[in-house]
Every structure is written in C-alpha cells, then in structure tokens.
Chains A and B, each alone.
Chain A
Amino acid sequence: MSVDADELRARVEALPDPELPMITLGELGVIRSAGTGADGRAEVEFTPTFLGCPAIPAITAAIEEVLRDCGHPDGRVRHVLTPQWTTDRISASGREKLAANGIAPPGGPTPVGLGLGTPCPHCGSQDTRPHSAFGPTRCQSMLRCAQCREVFPCITTMRGQG
C-alpha cells in the first residue's frame, strides 16, 4: 500500500535532523521534493547543508526507511546541490525551536557594524560578539554575550548564490 506524494513529503519533512533533533528536516529546509522520478520510481530530493555534513548518511538512511514504509521499497534519495541550501531556508517555526533550545537562529536583525549582534538566546541582549567561526557542528558558530557572559552557539549564516 503506497501513499501519495504529499503524504510522502509530509512524512519525510517530519523526520528530526540528526544533529539538531529539536527541528525537523522540513523546518531545516533541506527537503527539495518528494514524488516520482522520470523512470517512475519514488524519489526524494534533498540538499545537504554542507558538503561534508556528517549527518548526510543518517538522513539518507532515514528517508529511505520512510520510502519503504510508504510502500516504495525501490525508492531513491537524490542529493541535489543546486540551488544551494542557505540559512534563509530555515522556517520560522524552526528558528523559534532553535532559540528555545539555546541555539541562536541565523542572520542577526541588524548589521554587526551597528554594535547590535545576534540576540543572546539566554538573556536576549544584543551586545554579543563573535567568539569562534566554528562550533559543535559544521553549521554552527560560537558567540559570546557581553551581558550575561554566556558563550552560545548560533547557526552560521550562509547565503550562497543560486
């Protein structure tokens, strides 16, 4: 018994991200499409956040399992590199969940030059500074809050072309 493309997409998008399990793949914005390929096989297109993201095999395996559960044992996962994934693809609900879990969402509201940085997820202060461009996962960097003195992770803003 196989399900239709909308249901397939909904189930794939509901999968949690392996490294940021508080948000789903749908909220992260990495699922491009779910449907039928040119040869009639079920197909899910997915765009990795980073080319070296170590979660790619786990995400691929999880989608394949959904394809099987949806009645598509020959279903296929395609990695699509263009258009690129950017942090603009993270949904509003995804941003809220990240902030609620102590991870500042990407893209501060004002240019850094004005002295207003990405809001601290702990105290809300915008008096925050870059601490390290690399963090616990490839898609996160570290900031420091001058107000509450916490160092906190932030989703590194990525804006590629295309």
Chain B
Amino acid sequence: MREPVTTAARPQPDDTAARRQPGDTADQPQPGDTAARPHSGGPAARPRSEDPASRPRSADTAARPEAARADLAELALRLGDDALVLGQRLCQWIPRAPMIEEDLALSNIALDLIGHARVLLSRSGELDGSGRDEDDLAFGRTEREFRNALLVELPGGDFAVTIARQLVFAHYAVPFYERLAGCADAELAAFAARAAAEVAFHRRHAADWTLRLGLGTEESARRMQAGLERIWPHAAELFESDGVVQRLVEAGLHPPVDEVRAAWHEGVTAVLARAGLTEPAPTWHATGGRAGLHTEAFGPLVAEMQSVRRQFPGGTW
C-alpha cells in the first residue's frame, strides 16, 4: 500500500480545533443552529413559484410551512455536502490505489456520491427559495458555508484510513437512506430509495477490504486498526441531533437518529469482529461541521474543487 497523503499513525493537528470532550452533549445549541428560530407553521404555506407540471410529486412539500421547508433544505444541504466532499476525497486516489481495480472501485464510488450530491444540492436550492442550482451550491459557496461532517473532509491518509472511513460512512448511509426512503417528502424519499441501493455496494466494498486487511498480514492488520483509531472519533458527528433534526424527525422527514446509530453500530461491529479488529473507544469526538466549522484540511480541498469555476465563471464545454 502506498501512502499518498499522510501516514495513519501521525498525529493530526487539524483535529484539535474541533475536539470535544465526551461529557458534552451533542444536542446543545450549535452556532448556526436554527433551534431557536420560532416555528412559523400554520398558514404560512407558500406556493411553489416554479412550473408545477415539471415536479408534480413535490406538491406535498409545497403545502408545508416555511420552517419545514427551511429544515428540509438544511438536511438536503448536509447530506449533499457529505456526499460531495467524500466523493472529492475519494477522487484523490485516482490513480494511486493499490491496483487498477481499486482505482475503478473508488472512482465509481465517488461517481455515485457526486451523483447523490447533485440531486441533494439541487433539491436544497429549490427548497431554500434562493434559486441556487447544484453548481452554485457546490462551486459558489465559501468554506464556512459547507455543512458536511468533518469525517468526510479528513485527508485520505493511507489506504487503510480511507477504508476505515468508507466502512464508517457506508454503514451509516445504508440504514439512513433506507429509512429516509419512507419519509414524508416524496422527492427525497424517491432519491433515498435509489441511493440506499447504491451505497449498499459501497458498504460491501468497505467490508470486504476491512476483512482482507484485518485478516491479511501483521502489517495490514496494524494499519487497518490504526485507520479505525484515526477515524472513529469522527463517527459520532453523523448521529448528532440539533433543532433541525429534531423538528424533521417529528415531522416524519428524518429517521430517528438513535435507530440509525444502532443499525450502524451493529453493522460495523459485526465486520470488525469477523476481521479480528477492535472497535476503538475514543476519548473525544469531533463536531462542528454542521455549523460550518471545518478542519484545516478542508480549505485546500474546497479551493481545488472550485478552481475551474472560479477561473472561468460561467464556462461551458
């Protein structure tokens, strides 16, 4: 295995900015949290301004109060940013993966994730009323405006770190999307049903590699365990709950967080047990991404991702 970015064992200074003690509760109000915003429910429903014939299935959302639309837009933004940033990170492996099949696997997984981001960011721009399209959101926002979890922006590390992150993310994404497929927003539900089927392939890929590395040589097992230790403090952020999530859960627009977390834990621990690896017990966990507070590694990623659009605004080919 080659190490294109950093070694797994090296301490990562960018983590310290976002450290949080385990005694903290995840549901304290965060900067940027909209929990304090009063519900403007009831008759504040606003008709959609766009051509209704082009999106007949979103009629149910049209009747929703303004606040629910804003919360749903925020959810689509968070999920879209998770997918976009993880896709961007995975693309950095091309063509550095251990074998050509793995270049194809990681780039195909990235392709799926960027496809998910396109749907989610488009939907977020519709729901928030800003009229921004997927490109405006992906390439026109600054670092602090991204709402992805810190997990997905961490530098790739060695291959085992990438696999550890894939293991954590895919085991979260499958049960999350499976449940979101039953949510009350028809458009988001249709997307989630398809996305769940796609991320199931990512979960299988990550689990297969975790087994291969865990049961391989002493060195591969050591690196895989080190990758898990590196990644694990960043898992909890995926299951944070704030005002946005709580209101969406109540409205049937978001799966219960504890349920997703339990499914995730059952899935990852089953793989780790088969692979002879130990579930890390981190003494801290990362937070801040949902409020736009990112790690030091994120700025260069955003700059690279947006460079073409900034150099040639409005360019087409």
Contact = CB atoms under 8 A, between A and B. Distances in A.
> Are A and B bound to each other?
yes
Interface of A: 37-39, 41, 50-54, 76, 78, 81-82, 84, 131-136, 138, 142, 156, 158, 160-162
Given A52-B116, A81-B191, A160 B197 contact: yes
A134 B194 contact: no
Given A37-B53, A38-B53, A82-B190, A132 B105 contact: yes
13 contacts: A38-B53, A38-B56, A39-B53, A50-B115, A51-B191, A52-B113, A54-B111, A81-B194, A132-B105, A133-B205, A160-B194, A161-B197, A162-B193
A112 B53 CA distance: 45
Contacts of B133: none
B112 A52 contact: yes
9 closest Cβ contacts across the A-B interface? A52-B115, A51-B115, A82-B190, A132-B101, A38-B53, A134-B105, A81-B190, A52-B111, A39-B53
Nearest to A161: B193
Given A38-B56, A51-B115, A52-B114, A133 B201 contact: yes
A134 B201 CA distance: 9
Contact of A51 (B112, B181, B204): B112
A140 B193 CA distance: 20
B104 A51 contact: no
Given A50-B198, A51-B191, A161-B193, 14 more contacts: A37-B53, A38-B52, A38-B53, A51-B116, A51-B118, A51-B119, A52-B116, A132-B104, A132-B105, A133-B201, A135-B108, A136-B104, A160-B194, A162-B193
B76 to A, nearest CB: 14
Nearest to A142: B101
Which of A37, A51, A136, A142 has the largest number of chain B CB atoms within 10 A? A51
Contact of A82 (B52, B56, B193): B193
B24 interface: no
A32 B105 CA distance: 29
B200 to A, nearest CB: 10
Nearest to A48: B115
B105 A51 contact: no
Nearest to B204: A133
A20 to B, nearest CB: 15
B196 to A, nearest CB: 8
A37 B55 CA distance: 11
B54 interface: yes
Interface string B93-132: 0000000010011001101111110110000000000000
Contacts of A132: 101, 104-105
A54 B110 CA distance: 12
B51 interface: yes
Interface of B: 51-54, 56, 101, 104-105, 108-109, 111-116, 118-119, 181, 189-191, 193-195, 197-198, 201, 204-205
Nearest to B196: A160
Contacts of A156: 201
A135 B105 CA distance: 7
A38 B108 CA distance: 37
Given A50-B112, A51-B115, A158 B197 contact: yes
Nearest to A53: B115
Contact of B197 (A84, A136, A138): A84
Contacts of B109: 134
Which of A50, A54, A142 has the largest number of chain B CB atoms within 10 A? A50
A75 to B, nearest CB: 12
Contacts of A51: 112, 115-116, 118-119, 191, 194-195, 198
Contacts of A39: 51, 53
Contact of A133 (B52, B105, B190, B191): B105
Contacts of A52: 111-116, 118, 198
A76 B54 contact: yes
Contacts of A38: 52-53, 56
A25 B197 CA distance: 22
Contacts of B116: 51-52
B23 to A, nearest CB: 40
A135 B103 CA distance: 10
A138 B119 contact: no
Contacts of A37: 53-54
Nearest to B101: A132
A143 B308 CA distance: 37
